[in-house]
Chain A
Amino acid sequence: MIYTPAALAVTVFALFVALTLGLSFYFAAKTRSSSSYFAAGGSIHWFVNGVAFAGDYLSAASFLGICGMIASYGYDGFLYSIGYLAGWIVALLVIAEPLKRLGRYTFADALDSRFQSRAIKLSAGISTLAVSLFYLIPQMVGAGALVKPLLGLPHWVGVSMVGAVVMLIVVTAGMVSTTYVQFLKGALLVIFSAILTLLILNRGFTTDPQNAGYRAPRSTAAVEPGSATAELMQSVDSEILPAEGPWKNRPYLRTKDRTTGAVTIWRETPADAGLVKYYETQTLTKLADGKELVNGLPHGTGTGETDFYPVGNITRLPDGASSTGPLGPMQFFSTLEESELMLWSKDPAKIVEPDGAATTFFYPQLTSGSDVLLPGKSPTFSGIRGDAAWPKLNFISLMLALFGGTASLPHILIRYYTVKDQTAARKSTVVGIATIGFFYLLTLFMGLGAMTSGVIDVSSANNNMAAPLLAKSFGELLFAMISAIAFTTVLGTVSGLIVAASGAVVHDLMTSVGRMQMTDHEKVRAGKWAAAVVGLMAIGLGIVFEQMNVSFLVGWAFSVAASANLPSLVMLLFWKKTTRQGITAAILVGMTASLVWILLSGDTFKDVYGLPPESAWAPFSQPGIVTIPLGFVVLTVVSLLTQEHEARAVARR
């Protein structure tokens, strides 16, 4: 869809970014040493730190990706919410305190505190960098998705803007400023999501959403297959085009308006008793000369041009009602269970004409409400409803990675060091879990609200913008606020990740491995240079991965983090025979195996290389179920083999 920026939205947005930058500069003046640059000098209050945990964690992926996935497919997006929060239980109950006792600034520091090994520093530094970069991709993709409707700018501009602003934030300040930015944004995100949820419940469900531009697609009565006529399509001044060439044996039927020449494409959909109905589709045709047609007319907002129209509605409410009025939270779900919805899908098979024009189809499907409230509706998880074993393993693998990934993320770990002691770290984490858990409850309301409010943009492959567009249906101001908060969400998360990555470069790679002698001041300067380089890399990756759902990308980042770091963390804390060789080997093997697996998976083949997913080498997409246990096995075996060596090393010390 084409979006025109509204003055109000731009103003609110600019104010937010200015406020964020202002905060950064203010705290920058107070950052004097490398300790306060990288870990805020252990000086942050536990409540602020707890909400900042939520700010770090509720990234673009949580807000945009999960809501988008729920808006597209229902319950499946909520599986991510459940997995992400469960990961906090691992972090709090198993990892947090022992780690804090070991800790310095980075994951590598913590691992190294027992062994003083350059090899561990090197491997942990590399894995921190790899995980940070992987986690940066979805944040940048989310930023690009946001600025499109907000400011009417293309994806790459959004990505570059976030990159530039974040580099400015990080280079000027460091951990204290990112903590306060995270606190502010974490709190605002939860408050405004709660407001949005209240508005959704207050509006209730209706079969006729009053959103600007929304309309229901035209459809016909049920007829015998093959008996369609122009009259049936209610467009008397039209003719049906013959199903020739690439249109043969496809479920589409074309009517051409004799006056305007516009072609409407209808999809044949099975109805009761062997009959069929025809539903109007939305189409995007790319002509050989590069021009685009939408629904048969030139794509644009001028006269004679057209754009996609927003969709997604309830077609039937319980007892034939046309609207429900205000609903309670429980009623919201029980009403949906008994309703019928219209969801839109993209046909993966385009039709390419002999002249090179390629048409992509978006078509509506009636779906029962009870179906969207169950797992397995999305293409990502549909395999769990079948009998094949691989898709089930793929699902278990993802849920395992989400479970173990949180504690293994470098930018979450680093926040354990920003409060003064264990009690404060514990309180922070409880505040974090409460804030994050509450937010995840809201994702289900926001996603399902977007699904049924006539705000879905069919042309957005990943639906990353569903939540902000839902806010727009309640008015421009709420849209501007939510978008600006989402944008600062991206800013905050990206800043935290870049600080973690630059910490890894300076502490682990330059000072410890490279044995470079640096003063405090030089360390901070080197950290800032590293932050700038990582920021530039993130911008590039954010542009390349535009088409993917951000939550899906985050799933991968969790897999890499859990595979590389979880075995070392857990075994270091709970197995006395762990050796430095074991840790080094586990990190390198876990990281490499998970990265290679992802690069050879069907989803990467399809969305990144543009190759058929069937030709992928990995049997399923999510590596965790193989590579996390692999890390544990490698660590155990190598540690047992190097016991004697370790004993000698300890004796020498």
Chain B
Amino acid sequence: MHIGEEHRGAAGPADDDTPLIAARNARTGMRLFAIYLPLYAAFVLICAFAPGWMAQRPLAGINLAIWYGFGLLGGALLLALVYSWLCRAREAL
């Protein structure tokens, strides 16, 4: 930790990525986002227009609403880890 470390001046923190890596990272981010967006949109639309579907119990006596909700929470973490891993893998090159 660098508590009390001398600040880096008004220009702000340093940029450690080359433009090439940065552009790739941005593309990776968008691709992963394109996976999450339809999942979230489908959840919202099912809740809004077919809330009855959420009452089905596909597994372990637990309804779809809870499975889907937990899936969106877990999915967000999974995507964040994948993203971080893909970006790190490139930086190591």
Chain A residues in contact with chain B, CB under 8 A? Answer: 27, 30, 32-33, 35-36, 39, 41-45, 48, 75, 78-79, 81-82, 85-86, 88-90, 92-94, 97-98, 100-101, 103-105, 176, 330, 333-334, 337-338, 370, 373-376, 384-385, 392, 395-396, 399-400, 403, 417, 419-423, 426-427, 429-430, 433-434, 437, 440-441, 444
Please state if A396 and B73 are interface contacts (CB–CB under 8 Å): no
A433 in contact with B80 (CB, 8 Å): yes
Q: Which residue of A lies closest to B55 (CB)?
A: A374
A441's closest neighbor in chain B, by CB? B73
Give chain A nearest CB distance to B9 CB in angstroms.
Answer: 7
Within 8 A of A (CB), among B65-85: 65-66, 69-70, 72-74, 76-77, 79-81, 83-84
- In the complex, which residue of chain B has the Cβ closest to the Cβ of A110? B12
**What is the minimal beta-carbon distance from B7 to any residue of chain A, in angstroms?**
3
* Residues of chain A with a CB closer than 8 A to B5's CB: 41, 43
Q: Are B61 and A430 in contact (CB under 8 A)?
A: no
Q: Which residues of B contact A373 (CB under 8 A)?
A: 63, 65-66
- Which residues of chain B are near A429, meaning CB under 8 Å? 80
CB-based contact B48/A82 at 8 Å: no
> Do A337 and B62 contact each other (CB < 8 Å), given the known contacts A82-B43, A89-B79?
yes
Q: B residues within 8 A CB of A45?
A: 1-2
The 6 closest A-B pairs by CB, nearest first: A41-B7, A334-B61, A42-B13, A93-B29, A421-B16, A30-B4
Bound-state Cα–Cα, A566 to B49, Å:
26
Measured between beta carbons, the chain A residues less than 8 angstroms from B16 are: 421-423
A93 touches B83 (CB 8 A): yes
**A440→B17 CA distance, assembly (Å):** 33
On whether the beta carbons of B74 and A437 are closer than 8 Å, the reply is: yes
Is the Cβ of A375 less than 8 Å from the Cβ of B61?
A: no
Contacting pair B7 A43 (CB below 8 A): yes
By a CB distance below 8 angstroms, the chain B residues around A93 are 29-30, 32-33, 36, 79, 83
A101→B13 CA distance, assembly (Å): 9
Among candidates B4, B13, B15, B61, residue contacting A338 with C-beta atoms closer than 8 Å: B61
How does the 8 Å CB contact mask read for B1-39 relative to A, with 1 for contact and 0 for none? 111111111111111110000100110011011001000
* Nearest opposing residue in chain A for B72, CB measure: A82
Known contacts: A39-B12, A86-B72, A334-B62. The answer to whether A437 contacts B48 by CB under 8 A is: no
How far, in Å, is B29 (CB) from chain A's closest CB?
A: 4
Q: Are B76 and A437 in contact (CB under 8 A)?
A: yes
Which A residues are CB-close (under 8 A) to B25?
A: 97, 422
> Are B47's CB and A417's CB within 8 A?
no
Q: A residues within 8 A CB of B54?
A: 374-375
- Check A385/B22 contact, CB under 8 A, given A48-B1, A176-B3, A334-B62: no
B68 CB to nearest chain A CB (Å): 9
- Beta-carbon contact of A43 and B60 below 8 Å: no
- Chain B contact residues: over half helix, strand or loop, or mixed? helix
Q: Please determine whether B40 and A403 come into contact, CB atoms closer than 8 angstroms.
A: yes
Q: Is the CB of A42 within 8 A of B15?
A: no
Residues of B near A81 (CB, < 8 A) are 69, 73
B43 CB contacts on chain A under 8 angstroms? 82
Chain A residues lying within 8 Å of B17, measured Cβ to Cβ, are: 97, 101, 421-423
A374 touches B33 (CB 8 A): no
* Closest partner residue, chain B, to A520 (CB atom): B10
Query: Min CB distance, B65 to chain A, in Å?
Result: 5
Contact of B10 among A35, A334, A440 (CB under 8 A): A35
For the complex formed, measure the closest distance between the CB of A175 and the CB atoms of chain B, giving whole angstroms. Answer: 11
Q: Across the interface, which residues of A come within 8 angstroms of B15, CB to CB?
A: 100-101, 421-422
Tell me, in angstroms, the Cα distance from A427 to B91 when the chains sit together.
13
Decide: B76 and A35 in contact? CB cutoff 8 A: no
Residues of A within 8 A of B45 (CB): 396
Count chain A CB atoms within 10 A of each CB in B2, B47, B70 and give the residue with the most: B47
A57 CB to nearest chain B CB (Å) = 13
Contact present for A92 and B80 (CB under 8 Å) = yes
Contact of B40 with A396 in the complex, beta carbons under 8 Å: no
Residues in A with CB closer than 8 Å to B55 are 370, 374
Could you list some 8 contacts between A and B, CB below 8 A? A32-B7, A35-B8, A88-B80, A93-B83, A94-B33, A395-B44, A429-B80, A444-B69
Q: Are A421 and B13 in contact (CB under 8 A)?
A: yes
A420 touching B51 by the CB < 8 A rule?
A: no
Q: Which residues of A contact B70 (CB under 8 A)?
A: 441
CB-nearest residue of chain B to A392: B48
Known: A35-B10, A421-B15. A437 touches B73 (CB 8 A): yes
Other-chain contact of B60, A39, A44, A82, A334 (Cβ < 8 Å): A334
Complex contacts, A85 vs chain B, CB 8 Å? 72-73, 76
Q: Are the CB atoms of A36 and B7 closer together than 8 Å?
A: yes
Contact status B57-A33, CB under 8 Å:
no
> Which B residue sits closest to A42, measured CB to CB?
B13
Are B88 and A330 in contact, CB atoms less than 8 angstroms apart? no
When distances are taken between beta carbons in the complex, the residues of chain A under 8 Å from B87 are: 423, 426
Chain A residues, Cβ within 8 Å of B2: 43-45, 420
